[in-house]
Every structure is written in C-alpha cells, then in structure tokens.
Amino acid sequence: MSIAKTYNPKEAEEKWYAYWMENGFFRSTPDEREPYTIVMPPPNVTGVLHMGHMLNNTIQDVLIRRARMLGKNACWVPGTDHASIATEAKVVAMLKEQGIDKKSLSREDFLKHAWEWKEKYGGIILKQLEKLGASCDWERTKFTMDPDLSESVLDTFIRFYNAGYIYRGVRMVNWDPQGKTALSDEEVIRREVNQKLYYVRYKIKDSDEHIVIATTRPETIMADTAICINPNDERYTHLKGKKVLVPLINREIPVIEDEYVEMEFGTGCLKVTPAHDLNDYELGQKHNLEVIDLLNDDGTLNENAQILVGEDRFIARKKVAKMLEEVGQIEKIEDYKSQVGFSERTDAAIEPKLSMQWWLKMDELAKPALEYVENGTIKLIPEKFFASYKHWMENVKDWCISRQLWWGQRIPAWYNEKNEWVIAKTEADAIAVFAEQGKTSEGLRQEDDVLDTWFSSGLWPMSVFDGVRNPDNADFQYYYPTNDLVTAPEILFFWVARMIIMGHDYTQKPPFKNVYLTGIVRDKLGRKMSKSLGNSPDPIELMGQYGTDGVRVGMLLSSPAGNDLMFDVSYCEQGRNFANKIWNAFRLVKGWETIDSPATDAQKTAATWFESRFNQAIAEIDEHFANYRLSDALMATYKLIWDDFCAWYLELVKPAYQAPIERETLETVKRLFQQVLKLAHPFMPFLTEELWHDEIFGTRDAKDCIIVASYPTAQSFDTQIVKDFEIVQQIISEVRSIRNSKGISPKIELPLAINATNIDFSTYQESIVKLANISDLTFVQDKVQGAVSFLAGKNECFVLLENNIDVDAERERITKEIEYLKGFLVSVDKKLSNERFVQNAKPEVVENEQNKKADAEDKIKILEESLASLS
C-alpha cells in the first residue's frame, strides 16, 4: 500500500479518535497498577472552546497520554460546571428573546427552561475537546449539578454548619446589579477607570457657612448620615457638634470626629454613607449612625433617595450633578482616575451593599491549606505563585457563599411562619428538626438562595469519585488523592485553595500533589485574547487549517508554566511543518527497496550514534517532564526528531539514488522510527497513531496501538560517540557552509584534510565523505597551504578549493572574521580582568568565559595562518 504524498489530518483525526473510543483506551477502572489521576477543571456549561481551554487541555492530555504509556492506570475525569451566574444570565437572555420575563415565572418553571438550555447547549465544549484529542474517560463525565454531586454539596453545607463554620448575617457584600446577586471578593475584577471628582458644598445648619466635600458618587449623597472630620484638623475645629444639611433634600446629619479621615486627602472632610461603602459602614457601626440604603437590587434608586426614584444609578449620577450645579452647590469638577470593581461574570460595576447572606468562616479552615503548600506536600508550579497564595491565605476573609439566583444548589435552610430557621437536607427533615426544638413548622418554606458555584466545585476531586457521600468506595480509595491539577493562576484562590480546604476537612489529605499553573494566552502584541478585541482565533478553525497535532505543538512550543503565551498562528504553521516532516521522513523510509545483506560498518556506527543520542534525549525529556517543563520537553523531542533522526540519521543510512538498502539497516531504521513515534505520541497523537499502523511495521492486533505502547525509557548510552559525532556534524556543516558561501554547487566533490588531535575519524570516514560530498579525505599533521581551514573542536580541517575559490574575496572574508574575533576577545578579556566578576561569579561561569577566550585565540591563530597561506 502506498502512503499518501501529504498527510490528511482530518481523516486521521476522525478515524483514530473513534477507534480509541471503540476500544476503550480512555477507560480506567481500579486495578493493581499505579494510578495516575487528573480531574479536568470543569469549564462553564455555557462555554465554547477558546485558546485558554486549548492550552490547558492540551497540557492535561500530554500528561495523561504519557502516564498511560508509562504503564500507569491513567484516569482523566472530564466534566462541566453549572456556573450559576453565567448560566442564569444566558437563560434569562434567552427567555427575554422569547418575550418571557423571569419575574413572571415560578422557580420550577424557570429551572425547567434552564435544564432544557443545559441539555441543548451544555455539552458543546466537551465535544470540542474531543476534536482536540482529549483522551478523557468520557464514561466518568460529571456535571456539578448531577444529583449525586448536588447531594454532596448539601451534605458539605450541613457538615460545615454543624461544625460551627457557617452562619447567617447582614454584612457588606459586593453586589452585582445586573446578576442581582452577591459576589465574593475574588469574583470582583478591579480596573482603573476615568471618573469625575465632584466638589460638593454642604451647608452648615443655622449658618451661612458651608464645607466642601469631594466625591465620585454624588448619586449616593441622599444616603449620607454624617460628615466626618479628623479631631486633629484645626481647620474644622469650629464644626464640632454642629449639624450639616444634605444637599438637595436638606436632611440634617451630624458632624462626627474620627482619625480615620486623612487630613491631606481631598478637602479633609468625608461624607459617610454606611449603606454604600465598606469603610463608611464600619465607621457608621463605630459611631452608631443610621444606615440608609437608596439602591434597589437592579441598581436603580428607591424611595429612600427621595428624588429621582427609579432612575439608574449612573443616569442619577449625572442628574444629581446637574441639580447640584443648578442650586450652586458644586464648587468644581475634576477629572479623576480610580479603581472600580466589576463583576467577573457580567462585567457590571459592583455596588457595596448591606445584605443578609450565608457566610463560611475561613480562618481555621485555611490554615492546613497553607501548610500543605508551605511544606511542599502540594507543589505550585512555578513556585513564583506561592507568595500570592500565602498572602491570600494569611489574609483570608469569611466567604459569602450564598447567591440570589435560582440555578444552583439551593441552600438547605428552612423557615417557618415566624421566620425562625433550621438546617436540614429535606422538607421532612426540617419538620422533624422544628418539632425537636418545640417550634412550629407552619408556613414552611425553603431558603431562596443557592450556593456559590465555587462551593460545589471545591468538592470536585472528591465528588467526581463520590468520595463525599461514600468515602469507602473503591474508586475514591484508588484514585484519590489525584496527581496533577492543570489550571490558571487567576483561580488559584477561587478554586485551588478551596479544593485543598475541603479535601483536607473530609480526608485529612490534599486533593492533589502538583498544581501546574498555565499562563494567559495573549496575542503577539501582548493583549489578552478576547472576543471583544477580536484577536482570538477560533480553535476549531485553527485545527481545521493546521491539523490538531500542528495546533497542539504550536500551543506548547512557547508555553512554559506560569508564563504568558504570546500566541501567533505561525506557531501552528511550525507545528504543521513538523507533522509534515515526520510524514515525509516516513514516506522516504517506506519507499526504500531492500537487499538481503547485513548493515555496513558506517550504518552500524550511525545506528549506535543515534541510539546513544536517543537515550540521551530521553533522559533530558524525562527531566523536563519531572520538572513540568513541557515546552522544553517538546522542544527536545522536536530537535531529536527533526535534526538528529531526519536530518542526520536517515541521511547517513539512506541508500544511493534508486539503490536498495541493506535489510538489517532497514529493520534498525523501522525499530528506531517506532521509538521516535512513541516519544512524539503525547504531543502528536493522531499522526503517530496513523503511522504506527502502517504495513511497514507488520500486522498489528486491534489493541496494538501507540496510545498504549510502552513509552521509551532511557538506557545507558555511549557518551563518547555522542561527543565525537558532534565534531563530525560540525565538519560536515562547515564544509557545506563553505560551499554555500563560495557559491560552489553541492554536486561538486571537494577534497578534505583533517589534522586530528583527539578523535579516530576512521570510524566516521565514510559518513563524512557521504554527507559532505568529499572526493578525497586525508589525514595530515601539518598545515595545508592554499586551503580554507576551520576548527572542529580541537581538530583543524582544510578544504582544498583549487579553482573554486576567489582568493581576494576569501582574503577579505578571513580578515573580517579575524577583526570580529579580536573584538570579541577584547570583551572577554575585560570580564576576566574584572576582579569583582571573577570573585563573585560562579566557577563554571568563569570557566566558560576562559573557554571562550581560548577558543577565540585558537581560531584567530588558524585564520591568520590561512590568510598567510593565501598570500
């Protein structure tokens, strides 16, 4: 069977993914092998594949495929997150398009629509991950609102409540007026925005005097309940005990004193609005101030504002400013930049708001989660993120775990007609608890709020194995703790810390051993990729254009852990070219005819060299994987295949045009090619599986697939032959370079003489003659007059160009090279003559500079001799 001239990724991808699925290669069940477990960070059920997902899941797939090939029981659990805020917003928008207002629906009717939406759209991203080649155990797919996972969430809420960690109370929260729900601090994105700073005059009661106060939020003036001055501020001593009138509504408020006010900031006076600022709230509590909330849940002004009732807050801001100007109470307006919080999910500007919520005490719970990372039980990769993690965990605040939504796990709290409440999983349990407490259960109703989505996803590594409800089950005992978590740094506290907290609370174990933190995918200008900027390519289209393997390679070539990836489609083109390189190398080998004879000495030497280089590369690649340097592991694989295997080994053993190859050599090539394919498989699963099954390798059983082939393990190798061959490669490359620089055809044979100092070149003589196209290779002990010379290691080589050289041009080239090397030598000498450098630098750094000096001096000497010979 002839192999196609060009690789068809689409055909291979569809064929082999289906084949892997049919044969259950992704399926994992507990057995006697060592488990290797990854739980997928569940993408939002609202989501579609973007470049961040591509990077994250490619890394996970590389790790899981390699573990599978290493003989481990590899289990990658996929799933999606119900994403309360984002999904509810999507469903509300869908209903609005149908002319349905959420307010007109009962909770049950709304949830029916939400589940219908989830069933229709919720699996899109997982199907897209299949195109990426994700080798997940799809039979284990979970959704954070599956009945068993939801029950685990309710059990955890009750567990924390019974342990005294959960309480209900009115506190200041971050309020999302668009989502109409509270948010945790971590769900608020702070951005610097351009604003106006309004200097407003407040009239002092029974006086013609006024004081000026600067504010960016004039729409909240009607909720002011005090003016605060610093007791040490002599400018305002006369105001102590006075009353001030709130502009526009003339309500009397007191002047209070507190050192919290910075005398140098603004006008040194502060308007106190306890309902609409966290710091003002704390000040109000301290001074027993009235709390006036003038905003509705949707960000419009309510009756407490007295004016502009029903207006949106931002429209009200402009109108209040205009009204103040009209009555002469604006002194001036300045441009001002300040940090404003925005909802991570809806991008609405956040309002500080007093609200009755459910809270989880975090102080005690956070301590073990910090200790695990501090003592290395859990490793953050790269380590640079530890400082942020430590800061978060040491300054953790109580977590607002309730959300004013319908989509999610409903909080298991129950109220009677007297508004007394109990915690219970079911209505029947609630009735029983009320009875035990001697209270009525008349008018029983359940809490309307649902739990924060992060509360449920915090259980993910346990709940996907049913470890919360049934910790003794075989799956949980076998797969937990998991091995590697691959996720984004921005959810290190959101999600990673909370999984550690919950995992420890239940099991006294960490939920995973390593946390690989990817960077952000940015465009080549450094901008974060986003739909709004229009700078994010469609991953599905990319895979269609460059092949999935090409895109996977392109993503990983430049994505070291924790560092942002400056993505450009040229990386995918490079990945596609790599796939084509392997494909064409295979076509070359498959096209060879054989002769039934043993390998030549040169072919055996080439095989010995490549096997040594191969084992050296495996050791390097294994070390890269051990340190989670996947980009480096891929680059080492790339260079081994492109350079060492294709450009050197295959060229060394390739027969002359239309001549047959020795059968022994071909068998060696096929054996090594299969090893190379196995090394590439985690990165390029489809191409490697396609070639693995070619008839050139013989007939394979149905289960004899590269996906479950044994990953190459590093064997001992001949370091000397690797070093010697580096010199051989340098000689061949230099001869080729000389030909190129002189415009000499590659077909013209050239004589070469070598003054060998530390290598027996007779072993490599045939290879040098073949690849450098040498007419006569001789070994000398003296200079060869009239030749172009160069150093390969410490071996001086001479190429006799005879009539093929332009003496004047060669003299000019050598002169320029000598000048360059002399300049380089000056810079090296400066370093070595600097005592501070020599004393403070590491010994190996100093030694490296000394070697540079010696090499430059040797080259200058040879070049000067060559120049003299040309004369």
Residue 287 Cα to chain centre, angstroms: 47
As a residue count, the chain comes to: 871
Q: Residue 1 has what pLDDT?
A: 52
CA atoms of 249 and 786, how far apart (whole Å): 102
CA atoms of 451 and 152, how far apart (whole Å): 12
Which of 822, 830, 832 lies closest to 861, judged by CA? 822
CA atoms of 527 and 521, how far apart (whole Å): 9
Which of 57, 53, 55 lies closest to 77, judged by CA? 57
CA atoms of 340 and 196, how far apart (whole Å): 13
Q: Residue 742 has what pLDDT?
A: 81
Cβ(180)–Cβ(297) below 8 Å? yes
**CA terminus-to-terminus distance, the chain:** 61
Query: Does 181-351 match 9-146+471-516 at the fold level?
Result: no
Q: Residue 150 has what pLDDT?
A: 97
CA atoms of 138 and 28, how far apart (whole Å): 10
Strand order in the sheet with 181-183: 181-183, 166-176, 351-360, 399-400
**Residue 306 buriedness (CB in 10 A; 0-12 / 13-18 / 19+):** middle
Alpha-carbon Rg for the chain, nearest whole angstrom, is 36
CA atoms of 74 and 713, how far apart (whole Å): 18
Residues 665, 667, 672, CA angle at the centre, nearest 5°? 95
Quickly tell me which residue has 């419009």 as its tokens.
300
CA atoms of 147 and 167, how far apart (whole Å): 25
CATH code linked to domain 585-721? 1.10.730.10
Tokens describing residue 645: 């295997």
Phi, psi for 716 (deg, rounded to 5) = -65, 150
Total Cβ atoms within 10 A of residue 191: 11
Quickly tell me which residue has 């694989």 as its tokens.
637
Annotated binding site: 531
Segments in the chain below pLDDT 50: none
Q: Which stretches within 201-276 are classed as H helix? A: none
| Alpha-carbon separation of residue 440 from 263, 305, 428, 445, 448 (angstroms) | 56, 39, 13, 12, 20
Determine if the peptide bond prior to 481 is cis (ω within 30°). Answer: yes
Tokens describing residue 770: 């073949």
Secondary structure (3-state) at 683? coil
Longest dimension (CA), the chain: 115
Cβ(636)–Cβ(624) below 8 Å? yes
Quickly tell me which residue has 């190798």 as its tokens.
717
Cβ(50)–Cβ(719) below 8 Å? no
Total Cβ atoms within 10 A of residue 142: 21
Phi, psi for 777 (deg, rounded to 5) = -105, 120
Q: Residue 806 has what pLDDT?
A: 65
Annotated binding site for ATP: 531
Cβ(705)–Cβ(692) below 8 Å? yes
Going from N- to C-terminal start, the domains of the chain cover 9-146+471-516, 181-351, 585-721, 722-870
| Alpha-carbon separation of residue 500 from 159, 161, 247, 372, 481 (angstroms) | 16, 19, 51, 8, 11
Check if CATH label 3.40.640.10 holds for domain 181-351.
no
Which of 329, 331, 337, 307 lies closest to 319, judged by CA? 307
Cβ(349)–Cβ(219) below 8 Å? no
| Alpha-carbon separation of residue 317 from 178, 323, 326 (angstroms) | 18, 10, 14
**Crossing angle, helix 147-162 and helix 498-507, to 10 degrees?**
80
Residues pairing with 36 in the sheet: 74
Element (H, E) at 156: helix 147-162
Quickly tell me which residue has 């059968």 as its tokens.
663
Which of 223, 404, 395 lies closest to 308, judged by CA? 223
Cβ contacts of 64 within 8 Å, gap of 6 or more:
36, 38, 74, 76, 135
Check if CATH label 3.40.50.1220 holds for domain 9-146+471-516.
no
CA atoms of 764 and 753, how far apart (whole Å): 14
CA atoms of 158 and 165, how far apart (whole Å): 10
DSSP category for residue 712: P
CA atoms of 279 and 269, how far apart (whole Å): 14
Tokens describing residue 177: 């007026």
